[in-house]
Structure 1
Amino acid sequence: MDISLTFTISAFVTFFTVIDPVGLAPVVVGLTSHFTNAQRNVIVARATLISAGIILFFALVGRYLLDRLGIELYAFNIAGGALLFLVAVDMLFGRQSGTRETKAEAEEAMTREDISVFPLAIPMIAGPGTIATTILYVGQAAPHPFSLISVAAAIISALFLAWLAMRSCTWIIKRVGKTGILVLSRILGILLAALAIQFMLNGITTYIHTGGFIR
């Protein structure tokens, strides 16, 4: 098989796996059950655009920035896992506030409870794995324009599917009802907690294997 084709297939499969569009849908259901459809669509669109901006930033200056600051990739795994664990705790104990009655209160709630940046954009979509994957693939593709196009196409395709999956999650809310959402939120909280711990364990394992604990 041609090397460029192999690289392209690898890029598509890797970004789809890391971003995991299908896995985002139930998370959005649990986090946005108290929002209106219009608010949810805005959050989903904003999260996708913010994620694209973050990925683009690290694609352009990621490796240079990390080298200059002396930051290793495993630090992203540990930090992202810790932040995600806090979200899992909130979901487990149902700490999401209710819907505001007036327009001003609703706008205030959207500002304070805007989940498009955290946790959807960071770390669910443009998390440690996505950032690390972006820096790795852009570094490998840098000398070859076609390979860079392949990486860009893989990222755009994965983000589009993520947006589509998150936007289509509303039918789940309509079918399972409020009780189902509460149960689903608790289950997702447990799964997110496990995922958060796995993020941190991956970072710690990489840290140990690379000899970081010696420095």
Structure 2
Amino acid sequence: MDNLLTFSITVFTGFFAITNPISNMTVFVSLTQGLDKKTKRAINKKSNLIAFVIVTVFILLGKYIFELFNISIPAFKITGGILIFFIGFEMLQSKQSNMKSIDNVDVDEDIAVSPLAIPILAGPGTIVTAMNFVSNAAPIQIFLVIAIFGSMSLLTYFTFRLSDLIVKTVGNNVISVIGKIMGLIIAIIGTGMIIQGIKITFKLLS
């Protein structure tokens, strides 16, 4: 039971850092600026639902994807760790990650699908993090990962819904600080994945 609790806390922390609802809220505000409340709510609901479905598919089919492309778990952990570390490092440097670039986005396009759902909410970092949690997981742990990401999608939905009020109340400076803290956590998670991959490769795990 304690192991499941620890696992759940780790998964929640990882997802919260990589999806970063507070930081992504500013992206949502900028993309939906000038739209009416009904349209904003529709975009919010659709983007989070699509992101949840995408990540869930990778969680459930990740094992078969590994087998199809002959991907080893150590190689995945090392490569994924490097990717996640790079995203966190960019956030620490106050740069918008290339994985989440929203330059030249046409608001007339279906922004709920792209760029909100992909790659902002369900980008490479999120997918890699999710698949890392279930790479050697038992069925109950896989269920927990899906449930926790579902709760994270709900949290993001309500954060986006209250985005205008939150930005006005908290201010951009506080949001920027939160983004840096999340960047540090993401970089640490990435480093941990690399270390795990190296340990598995050289059989250093007990």
Give the alignment's TM-score, normalised by structure 2: 0.63
| 1:197 equivalenced with 2:187 (yes/no) | yes
Letter in structure 1 aligned against 2:24: V
User: Is the 8 Å Cα contact of residues 81 and 189 (structure 2) preserved in structure 1?
Assistant: yes
> How far is 1:49 from its partner?
2.2
Paired residue secondary structure (2:56): helix
Aligned pair in 2 of structure 1 residues 17, 186: CA closer, same or farther (>3 Å)?
A: closer
Letter in structure 2 aligned against 1:128: V
Structure-to-structure mapping, 1:31-50, within 5 angstroms: 31-35=27-31, 36=33, 38=37, 41-42=41-42, 44-50=44-50
User: Is the 8 Å Cα contact of residues 30 and 184 (structure 1) preserved in structure 2?
Assistant: no
> How far is 1:210 from its partner?
1.7
Which structure has the greater CA radius of gyration? 1
Letter in structure 2 aligned against 1:116: A
Give distance in 1, aligned partners of 2:143 and 2:60.
15
User: Is the 8 Å Cα contact of residues 134 and 141 (structure 2) preserved in structure 1?
Assistant: no
| 1:175 equivalenced with 2:165 (yes/no) | no
The residue number in structure 2 matching 1:117 is: 118
> How far is 1:63 from its partner?
1.0
> How far is 1:91 from its partner?
4.2
Letter in structure 2 aligned against 1:117: I
Give distance in 2, aligned partners of 1:43 and 1:85.
29
Superimposed CA distance per residue, residues 54-101 of structure 1 (whole angstroms, 9 cap, x where no aligned partner): 233223321122134324341223223324544664349xx9769x9x
User: Is the 8 Å Cα contact of residues 80 and 199 (structure 1) preserved in structure 2?
Assistant: yes
The residue number in structure 2 matching 1:90 is: 95
5+ residue gaps, structure 2, are none
Give distance in 1, aligned partners of 2:102 and 2:174.
14
Number of equivalenced pairs: 189
| 1:106 equivalenced with 2:107 (yes/no) | yes
The share of aligned pairs that are identical, in percent, is 15
User: Is the 8 Å Cα contact of residues 25 and 169 (structure 1) preserved in structure 2?
Assistant: no
Letter in structure 2 aligned against 1:66: F
Give distance in 1, aligned partners of 2:166 and 2:189.
27
The residue number in structure 2 matching 1:24 is: 20
Paired residue secondary structure (1:34): helix
Superimposed CA distance per residue, residues 114-165 of structure 1 (whole angstroms, 9 cap, x where no aligned partner): 24312322256x343322224544xx22xxxxx5995455554443334334
The residue number in structure 1 matching 2:81 is: 77
Aligned pair in 2 of structure 1 residues 15, 43: CA closer, same or farther (>3 Å)?
A: farther
User: Is the 8 Å Cα contact of residues 12 and 154 (structure 1) preserved in structure 2?
Assistant: yes
CA RMSD of aligned residues (A): 4.2
Give distance in 2, aligned partners of 1:49 and 1:61.
18
> How far is 1:52 from its partner?
1.9
Aligned pair in 2 of structure 1 residues 156, 71: CA closer, same or farther (>3 Å)?
A: same
Give distance in 2, aligned partners of 1:204 and 1:195.
14
The residue number in structure 1 matching 2:200 is: 210
User: Is the 8 Å Cα contact of residues 63 and 135 (structure 1) preserved in structure 2?
Assistant: yes
Aligned pair in 2 of structure 1 residues 80, 118: CA closer, same or farther (>3 Å)?
A: farther
